[in-house]
Copies of this chain bind each other. A is one copy, B any other.
């Protein structure tokens, strides 16, 4: 067993990279998805509908194909890549920043949807109450919206984290599997499996599964305790 889990330096590098990618992506995603979901939850125009549909679209394409389009767009010849280059920055293909952007796009729907649901169901009353008690919009967000939408936030963050962890098609294409830069665990497991090196594939898969399972249990366990407290409150 201890032998089974004797990770190579390359493994450690990938583990570290994966965690970094997942944390950064989840963080950015929450920052990005929260205002977007709020806007989507509160508005009713056709424009909202269109944006909401666009957010979900990345789901529909096969990841490597999406990755290819991103590669064209974010690479040195693509207009985003070129724009970045002309600003003296690096284009995004084959870089850690690039796969963060790709993960953001790819996991966006998983962050937006639960948040939007939660915000939509919050209703106006708690916000009206807080406003009457002198809370500014930002204050209301932090002290009313977030605590009351905790379930949605947890779901959004968990799904984003897990999805980023498992995603590899986009990352493979756009990231180029560079050790220490874009070669995350999922890519590594994929490579092992392709090379029929199942011992290593099993080892890393198990690691990811156990680790993720523990995170999920921790997160859901906390959330569950909270939401049961809140349950009788629906009508108060």
Contact = CB atoms under 8 A, between A and B. Distances in A.
A131 interface: no
A85 interface: no
A26 interface: no
B49 A217 contact: yes
A122 to B, nearest CB: 8
Interface centre among A53, A58, A123, A231 (most CB of B within 10 A): A53
A10 interface: no
Given A62-B186, A117-B117, 5 more contacts: A53-B216, A63-B63, A114-B114, A114-B117, A117-B118
A61 B166 CA distance: 5
A228 interface: yes
A60 B121 contact: no
Interface in A187-236: 187, 189-190, 193, 201, 205, 208-209, 212-213, 216-217, 220-221, 224-225, 227-228, 231-235
Interface of A: 44, 46, 48-50, 52-54, 56-66, 68-69, 109-110, 113-114, 117-118, 120-125, 151-152, 155, 158-159, 162-163, 165-169, 186-187, 189-190, 193, 201, 205, 208-209, 212-213, 216-217, 220-221, 224-225, 227-228, 231-235
A152 B53 contact: no
Contacts of A233: 123
Contacts of A190: 62, 64-65
A166 B60 contact: yes
21 contacts: A46-B221, A50-B217, A53-B217, A56-B212, A57-B209, A59-B163, A60-B166, A61-B166, A61-B186, A61-B189, A61-B205, A62-B190, A63-B168, A63-B169, A66-B166, A114-B117, A118-B121, A120-B151, A121-B234, A124-B231, A124-B234
A225 B225 CA distance: 34
Nearest to A55: B216
A212 B208 CA distance: 32
Contact of A162 (B56, B114, B121): B56
Contacts of A224: 44, 48-49, 52
A123 B166 CA distance: 34
Given A57-B212, A118-B117, A159-B109, A125 B234 contact: yes
